[in-house]
Amino acid sequence: MKTDDLINALAADAKSVERPIAQTVAIAVGVGALVSTLIFFWSLGLRANFAESAVSSLRFLFKYVLTFSLAIPAYVLVRGLSRPDFQPGNKLWWLALAPALLLSAMGLEMLAVPSDQWHAKMVGYNSLTCLVVIPLLSFAPLAAVLYALRQGAPANPALAGAIGGLLSASIAATLYASHCRDDSPLFLAAWYTIGFVLMTGIGALAGSRILRW
Amino acid sequence: MRAAIAGDQDAYRRLLSELSQVLRGVVRRGFAGVGVPRGDVEDVVQDVLLAIHLKRHTWDPSLPLGPWVMAIVRNKMIDDLRRRGRRPEVPVDLNDFEFEGEDQQASIDAHDVGRVLDRLSDKNRDIVRSISIDGQSARDVAMRLGMSEVAVRVALHRSLKSLAETYQEKKA
C-alpha cells in the first residue's frame, strides 16, 4: 500500500477515536480497586477494633499515610507514563516520599519502644498472611492498570508496568492494613515492603512483555 | 489534530499528509549512515502513521503536538533498529522538523507495500482497497457490498488495527 493510500484509509476512520487515555487509566484503577475491595470484605473484612483504632492509634493511621504516600504518586506517574511523550525525570523522586516516611516512623518507633521488644514488633502476629494477601489483592488492580496501559502508548513499557505494579500493591496494602493487627512501622518495613517490591517486579516484567506497541 | 479528534475527516487527511512528509525526512535523517534501504524508511513512516492514528487518544490536547509525534517516531525507529540488531540509540529532536520536496514523494509512490494487506480477509482487503486506493467513501463501499455504513467503518477500523499488528509481528 502506498503511503497516500494509507492516509486515505486513516482519514476515513477519523471518527473511531477512543476515550482520552487519562480517563481510561482512572476508570481502570477505580474498577481494579473496587474488585479488590469486594474480595477483601468477602474474605477478610475489617479487624475487630477498626473503629477504635482509627480514632486512637497513631501507628494504625500511619499505615494509611504510608500506603497513600505511595498510591498517589504512583497513580499520577502511571497516568503520565501511558502517554508516549511523558518524561518522568524528576517526578520519579515523588516515590522517595514513602520510604522517607517509613524510615522516620521506624526511628520514632525505636525511640518509643525498648530495644528488647523490637524483634517481637517486627515479627508481629500476621506476617505470613501479610506476605500472601498483599500480592493476591494486587492482581485485580494490576490487571486493570495493564489493560489501560495497553490502550495507551508507554514510551518505557517496563517502567510503566513497574509503577503499575507498585500502584496495585499500594491499593492492596491499604485494604490489608484495615485487617492486619500489626501496626508497628517495624512490621511494615519488614513485610509490607516485600509485597511492594514483588509487585513492582512483576509489573515491570509484565510491562516489558505486553506493553510494546 | 483537534479537528481530527472531533471527527473532521478532511482536516485529518491534511494533517496526516503534512505529517507524512515531515516524518519521511525525520526517519531518513535518523537512519542516515545506518544503511537502511529506502523502502524500509517508508515502512517506518507507515508504521508511525498507523500508531499516530490508533494512539491519538494518548495526545493531551493541552500540550503541543510535535513532541508527541516525535516520541512515537522515536519509539518506532528504535523498534526498527532493534529488529535489525543495532544499538537502539536514536537521537530525534524537534529541529528535525522540516519538509521533504515533492520529488521524494514521487519516488516513494513507486514503492508498494501491498504485502501488509495480504493478512486481511478478502472482504476487509476489498474495503481497505476501495477506500484507500480507489478513494471511495465508506457509504459507496457499503452500498456496493450490501453492508451498513457502520459495519464498513468497523471493518475498516479493525483492518487498520490488524495492519498495525502486522508491523509489530515483523519486528518479533
Query: Over the stretch A110-129, which tens digit does the pLDDT of each residue have?
Result: 999 999 999 999 998 888 99
Q: Smallest Cβ distance to B160: which of A4, A13, A15?
A: A13
B120 touching A (Cβ < 8 Å): no
Are A7 and B7 within 8 A, CB to CB? no
Q: Smallest Cβ distance to B156: which of A4, A9, A83?
A: A9
Check whether A203 has a pLDDT greater than 90. yes
CA distance linking residue B34 with residue A14, whole number of Å:
35
User: Taking a C-beta distance cutoff of 8 angstroms, is the pair A207, A157 a contact?
Assistant: yes
Are B55 and A3 within 8 A, CB to CB? no
Which residues does chain A have within 8 Å of residue B49's beta carbon, measured at their own beta carbons? Answer: 3, 6-7, 10
| pLDDT tens per residue across span A142-188 | 999 999 999 999 999 999 999 999 999 999 999 999 999 899 999 99
B40 touching A (Cβ < 8 Å): no
CA distance linking residue B86 with residue B26, whole number of Å:
18
Which CB contacts under 8 angstroms, 24+ apart, belong to B116-125?
A: B116/A1, B116/B46, B116/B163, B116/B166, B116/B167, B117/A1, B117/B163, B119/B162, B119/B163, B119/B166, B120/B159, B120/B162, B120/B163, B123/B155, B124/B155, B124/B158, B124/B159, B124/B162, B125/B159
Closest-CA residue of chain A to B19: A7
pLDDT reported for residue B172:
47
CA distance linking residue B114 with residue A1, whole number of Å:
5
The amino acid at A51: A
Check whether B171 has a pLDDT greater than 90. no
Q: How far is CA B44 from CA A18, A26, A67, B79, in A?
A: 24, 32, 43, 9
* Better-scored residue on pLDDT, B124 or B68: B68
CA distance linking residue A21 with residue A28, whole number of Å:
10
Which residues does chain B have within 8 Å of residue A24's beta carbon, measured at their own beta carbons? Answer: 57
- Say what percent of chain B tops pLDDT 70: 78
Check whether B111 has a pLDDT greater than 80. no
| pLDDT tens per residue across span B94-105 | 555 555 544 444
Check whether B8 has a pLDDT greater than 70. yes
Count chain A–chain B contacts defined by CB atoms under 8 A.
Answer: 128
pLDDT reported for residue A106:
96
Supply the pTM of this predicted model: 0.86
Instruction: Identify the DSSP state of B134.
Output: S
Closest-CA residue of chain B to A87: B71
